[in-house]
Structure 1
């Protein structure tokens, strides 16, 4: 039986995630159809304006991580671009917003419907939804994703056999197709893909349910404001605070100590 702890959390605690799991094959098919059928211009547009860009998460070597999505900070991507008036090198804010909406409606209608259903029934609990692909050879350096009020769920969509895993504290955890892996990413972690194939998941960031929604949204807004000042193309997902600091390693060590205490 799988064991859970303070950083590796049982997805069954969050019933709204089942909406994504029940539709995982449709969600995967929309991704694979997009990769197969999109034109070169559509692919460029997608990775230009639908993908959160990080200036802090570093990889070892030349292997890359790619991502794009349709929900950021509780807003669909076209709304988010307008709200922050993001100016892209090749597109104005209104133009980018219209193009993002067209891409979302053309390629990801079923994913959008699942998101709308969860948002309606669970009071804006989900914040970011995007596809994340680890390309072969990826090895990301140790980092955190700092928001103490947020969990990150990974729904396995395309998971090759072999050594593709997440190292967090003393554990090495694995993705499985059609299932969620839920982590508290305020603990230092470093994923890798040592296979010869892409690994793709649907990343779903959502609020922890232990504090009033108004309080955690205030924290999120301030964090996103700072992150957008540093890098508007992060879409508020990544920021300077994601670099692991001394106190994060103390927290990391505490997790080891807790395991020893349980064993004794």
Structure 2
């Protein structure tokens, strides 16, 4: 039986995630259809524009992490680009917004419907939704995601057998297709994919339901403003505060030491 704690949370606490799980195969099929059928120009645009970029989260070696999505800070990507007037080297904000809308409607209409359904019934609780792929050999260095107002859910879409896992505190957690893993990412963590195949999940960030909504919205607005100023291509998802500090390494090492002592 899986055990849950302060950083590895029981998905059943968050019934609004059920709509994503109920449609996980449809969501997976939209992703695979896009990857297999999108034109080279569509793929380039997707990873240039729709993917949140980080300047602080580093990998060991040459293997990379790729991501792209359709919802950021509770707003569909085409509206988000216009709101922040993001300027890309090859696209104006208007052109990027138009292309993003066309891609969302062409390839991800079912995922968009699930998001709209949940946010309509649960007061815009879903903040970010994007696909995250770990390519073979990926090993991400220890980091935090300083989002104390949110939890992060990973819905398994394509999960190969073997050693592809999330190391957080003293635990090593595994993704499963069609199921959510929900974490508090303020704890230091470092995921990896030591298999020969891609692992893809749907990342779903959502407000912590037990925190006053006015407070979390105010914090999100302040945080996103700073992140967009530092790096507009982060789409407000990543920021300088995600870099692991000395105390994070100490916390991570101490968790392992305590678990080792308990085992002895």
TM-score (ref. length: structure 2): 0.96
The Cα shift of 1:161 comes to 0.3
CA distance in structure 2 between the partners assigned to 1:50 and 1:245 by the alignment: 29
Task: Give the count of matched residue pairs.
Answer: 263
Partner of 2:15, secondary structure, is: coil
**1:159-178 equivalence runs, <5 A:** 159-178=159-178
In structure 2, C-alpha distance between the alignment counterparts of 1:6 and 1:261, rounded to whole Å: 21
Map of 2:67 onto structure 1: 67
Structural mapping, 1:85-234, within 5 Å = 85-234=85-234
How far apart, CA to CA, are the structure 2 residues paired with 1:154 and 1:8?
12
Structure 2 equivalent of residue 52 of structure 1: 52
Instruction: Output one character per residue of 1:15-44: Cα deviation in whole Å (capped at 9) or x when no partner.
Output: 000000000000000000000010000000
Give, in angstroms, the shift of residue 247 of structure 1.
Answer: 3.5
Q: How far is 1:209 from its partner?
A: 1.3
**Root mean square deviation of aligned Cα:** 1.7
Counterpart in 1 of 2:241? Answer: 241
1:35 & 1:118 partners in 2: Cα distance? Answer: 26
How far did 1:210 drift?
Answer: 1.7
Give me the whole-angstrom Cα distance separating, in 1, the residues matched to 2:247 and 2:163: 30
Q: Deviations over 1:118-164 (max 9, x none)?
A: 00011111100000000000000000000111110000000000000
Separation of aligned partners in 2, 1:239 and 1:99: 26
Contact 2:156 2:177 in 1 (8 A): yes
What is aligned with 2:8? 8
C-alpha distance 214-250 of structure 1, shift in aligned 2 (>3 A): farther
1:80 is aligned to 80
Task: Evaluate the alpha carbon distance shift between residue 254 and residue 211 of structure 1 in structure 2; reply closer, same or farther with a 3 A threshold.
Answer: farther
State the Cα distance separating 1:211 from its structure 2 match: 1.4
Distance 1:119 1:58, change over 3 A: same
Taking the aligned partners of 2:178 and 2:251, their CA distance within structure 1 comes to 31
Q: What runs of 5+ residues in structure 1 fail to find an aligned partner?
A: none
In 2, Cα distance between the equivalents of 1:125 and 1:149?
11
What is the deviation of 1:249?
Answer: 4.0
Change (3 A) 1:192 1:256: closer
Cα gap change, 1:209/1:257 in structure 2, threshold over 3 Å: closer, same or farther?
Answer: farther
Alpha-carbon distance in 2 for matches of 1:204, 1:252: 24
1:258 and 1:226 map into 2 onto residues whose CA distance is 37
Distance in structure 2 (CA, Å) of the matches to 1:169 and 1:32: 33
